């Protein structure tokens, strides 16, 4: 038996004339390499090639798992350090573990930062198919103000141009006429082009409508929690949408601290201020 003072490993020479590490499970009835793994240096090219080969053979697994697998047969000096070095040079592992490129967010367009009336600049989209009683179906039209982030919901019976116009007329009657509307390039939206400045997104540019898609997701989450598998009448669903509209407009637009003296800014709060200023 031999004791390496430099590495403080208890080693012994095997019948194969190779240096083995004597572990604490040497008396276990198991294979010889597991009880007495082969001691390998870390600064030899052949050892690096062995680690690289075993890494590929074991499906490019992570550092912790791979080190445990190697320990079943080999005891490499400074093993964790040298294994990490080999894995860091693996092209496949570098490809899957590389960090995603972070791009700085661009500036908001002029229509979203200029001072304007509520819903003067509006985004509109149709959301989710709702199944009602008496074999009826319905869709939700979501209108959102680009500046103050206020939401208005309308329930329509289909995605036809006629159904959209009915919902749009109700929106204009309640909120006032818009000057600019952003929307998808759908046929029912295109069919309503008139005196309003309509700005259509390209069909493949989903990221351009993110400022209202997130609000649609919030509305869907509320409906899933409230409705479940229930089917309502048209009037009942319209009432639920009014409740959702109030809740969405009450969401804070800024970070809420734990201080009880601060009132968070919400779309309904900004809308009330804007209407109060217009009455003066």
- pTM beyond 0.85, yes or no: no
CA distance 162 to 212: 23
pLDDT of 277 reads 53
Give how far Cα 118 sits from Cα of 91, 142, 180, 201, Å.
53, 15, 12, 22
DSSP code of 178?
Answer: -
- Residues of the chain whose pLDDT is less than 50? 1-7, 280
CA distance 235 to 155: 9
Q: What CATH number should be reported for the domain whose range is 11-96?
A: 1.10.340
Looking at residue 5, its pLDDT comes to: 42
Q: How far apart are CA 196 and CA 177, in angstroms?
A: 9
Residues forming a β-bridge with 46: none
pLDDT per residue as tens digits for the range 149-197: 999 999 999 988 889 889 999 999 999 888 888 887 665 565 555 567 7
Domain boundaries, the chain: 11-96, 113-253+265-272
Q: For residue 188, what pLDDT is reported?
A: 59
Q: How far is Cα 50 from Cα 151, in angstroms, rounded to an integer?
A: 62
Residue with tokens 């493949």: 204
Tell me, yes or no, if the two domains 11-96 and 113-253+265-272 fold the same way: no
Instruction: Name the token pair of 65.
Output: 């798992």
The answer to whether 243 and 227 are in contact (CB under 8 A) is no
Options 3.40.50.620, 3.40.630.30, 3.40.190.10, 3.30.420.10; CATH of 113-253+265-272: 3.30.420.10
HSE value, Cβ hemisphere, 13 Å, CA-based, for 234: 11
């Amino acid at each position: 038996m031999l004791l390496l003072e430099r590495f403080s490993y208890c080693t012994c020479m095997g019948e194969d004339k190779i240096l083995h590490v004597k572990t604490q499970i040497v008396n276990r009835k198991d294979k010889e390499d597991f009880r007495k793994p082969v001691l390998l240096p870390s600064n030899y090219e052949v050892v690096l090639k062995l680690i690289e080969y075993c890494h590929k053979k074991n499906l490019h697994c992570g550092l912790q798992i791979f080190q445990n697998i190697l320990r079943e047969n080999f005891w490499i000096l400074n093993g964790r350090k040298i294994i990490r070095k080999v894995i860091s040079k693996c092209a496949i592992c570098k490809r899957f573990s590389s960090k995603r490129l972070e791009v700085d967010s661009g500036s908001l367009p002029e229509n979203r930062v200029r001072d304007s009336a509520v819903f003067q600049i509006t985004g509109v989209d149709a959301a989710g198919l709702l199944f009602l009683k008496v074999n009826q179906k319905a869709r939700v039209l979501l209108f959102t103000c680009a500046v103050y982030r206020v939401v208005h919901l309308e329930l329509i019976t289909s995605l036809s141009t006629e159904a959209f116009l009915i919902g749009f007329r109700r929106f204009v009657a309640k909120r006032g006429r818009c000057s600019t509307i952003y929307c998808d390039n759908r046929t029912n939206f295109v069919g309503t082009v008139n005196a309003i400045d309509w700005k259509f997104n390209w069909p493949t540019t989903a990221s351009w409508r993110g400022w209202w898609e997130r609000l649609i997701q919030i509305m869907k989450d509320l409906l899933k929690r409230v409705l479940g598998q229930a089917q309502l009448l048209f009037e009942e669903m319209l009432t639920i949408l009014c409740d959702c509209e109030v809740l969405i407009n009450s969401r804070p637009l800024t970070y809420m601290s734990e201080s009880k003296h601060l009132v968070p800014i919400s779309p309904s709060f900004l809308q009330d201020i804007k209407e109060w200023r217009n009455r003066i």
